[in-house]
Structure formats: C-alpha cells, structure tokens
Amino acid sequence: MTKLHKKSLSKLSEKVLTSHALKYGMKTRSDLMIVVTCEQLENAVTFTVIDNGGGFSSEKLISDLPPVESETHHGLANSFRRLQMLYPTANMQLSNTDDGGAKVTLHVARA
C-alpha cells in the first residue's frame, strides 16, 4: 500500500486506545486526563495516547505487544494485529510516563 487509509488507522487506533485509557485509567483516578496526538511525518504516521492513570505493570512493559491470552489488554493486542495486516511495518510501543501514566505509541511507516 502506498497510502495510509485514514479510516482504518483511525478505527484501529483512536477508539481502541482511548477506550483502553478510559477503562484502565479510571480505575486509579477520578480526574483522568487523556492526550491524543497524531503526527504525520514524511514517511510515517505516529499516533500516541497518553493518560495520567496508573500506567502499565512491569510485566506488560517487558514486551511491546501484550499477549492475546492475557485477561487484560487483549484489545490492544488484537487491534495491533489487525493494524499489522494492513500495514506490516507498523509497530506499537507501551511505556509509562514520568508521572506514572500509560503511553501507547503506534508508528506506521508508509510503503
């Protein structure tokens, strides 16, 4: 594919990542804040969702892709796999912010 499909990227990333931030972030904070950014670079698109919730456990941070058999975070893994079907070069990184919140970054290179 030579172009990114805006709707595909949006459906697979924005809704799932913000839903994930809401679901897990509200468990630890009633004043949850979510920041969503999308940056179009010359040869890629980066989509990032950051929240000020409880962040990811150290077990989740060991791998960039949460295991599907996990009872939690399977929505992230499944969405990422669907995204990779459209964009094989896509990658997802899970991290925690300096203040302990969660950060999910999707990076999709253009073909």
Mean residue pLDDT across the chain: 77
Residues of the chain above pLDDT 90, percent: 13
Cα dihedral 106, 5, 76, 89 in deg (nearest 10): -50
On whether residue 94 sits in a domain, the answer given is yes
53-91, pLDDT tens digit by residue?
988 888 777 755 544 444 555 677 777 888 888 888 888
* pTM of the model as a whole: 0.76
Could you give the number of structural domains in the chain?
Answer: 1
On whether residue 63 sits in a domain, the answer given is yes
Q: Provide the residue range defining the domain that includes 100.
A: 6-109
Question: Which domain CATH number covers 86?
Answer: 3.30.565.10
pLDDT at 24 over 60: yes
